[in-house]
Homo-oligomer: A and B are copies of this chain.
């Protein structure tokens, strides 16, 4: 599928069938993430790949909207390294762009995925930092949950001309 199709087709997939995502495909997702731009090309991202079901259980205790992990095959915690970013605060949008690359690559590969927000929720950040033993300079932006899709939501058109301003607000 071409890029515009993938962008339109990408939806949050929370229902999964049994089945494994290959290690090769996870590497494709991570390569996509690391192809995103970053301020001054600092590449201040870090990724924790989780497949251990016990870790999923603990993540569900920390994140109130992570129930789909019960049937997920894999998760990636996208983090920013605040010691590597161009200046304080750049990691958030940069890791957001990297996350979007992962979601689009997953769409292309037929993998279901959903972005679960963590930053700026301090409780979720603290919980995940403890669980994954993240150093203080590593900040979790989100959890991405992956699985073989058991639902196929239709495309939605969110285009809203009211959000477009010409030359001035």
Interface residues in chain A, defined as those with a beta carbon under 8 Å from any beta carbon in chain B: 1-4, 6-8, 10, 12, 28, 30-32, 34-37, 39, 43, 45-52, 55, 86-90, 92-101, 103-105, 107-108, 115, 117, 119-121, 132-135, 138, 141-142, 157-160, 163-169
Given known pairs A47-B165, A95-B93, the reply for A7 and B134 (CB within 8 Å) is no
Q: How far is the CA of A70 from the CA of B20 in the complex (A)?
A: 50
Q: How many copies does the complex hold?
A: 2
Residue contact B3 to A87, C-beta cutoff 8 Å: no
Judging by beta carbons under 8 Å apart, are B169 and A47 in contact?
Answer: no
Q: In the bound complex, what is the Cα–Cα distance between A168 and B52 (angstroms)? A: 10
B-side contacts of A94, CB under 8 Å: 96
19 more CB-based (< 8 A) A-B contacts, given A1-B3, A49-B166, A89-B92: A2-B2, A10-B35, A10-B37, A12-B37, A34-B159, A35-B158, A37-B100, A43-B160, A45-B163, A47-B165, A49-B165, A49-B167, A55-B167, A92-B96, A93-B93, A97-B97, A97-B100, A98-B100, A135-B169
Q: CB-CB < 8 A to A166: which residues of B?
A: 48-49, 51
A52 nearest in chain B by CB position: B167
Task: Give, as a whole number of angstroms, the nearest-CB distance from A139 to chain B.
Answer: 11
Chain B residue contacts of A167, Cβ below 8 A? 48-52, 55
Among B12, B50, B96, point to the contact of A96 (Cβ < 8 A).
B96
Q: Which of A31, A35, A135 has the most CB of B within 10 A?
A: A35
CB distance from A94 to the nearest CB of B (A): 7
What B residues does A100 contact at CB under 8 A? 36-37, 96-98, 100-101
Q: Would you call A165 and B4 a contact (CB within 8 A)?
A: no
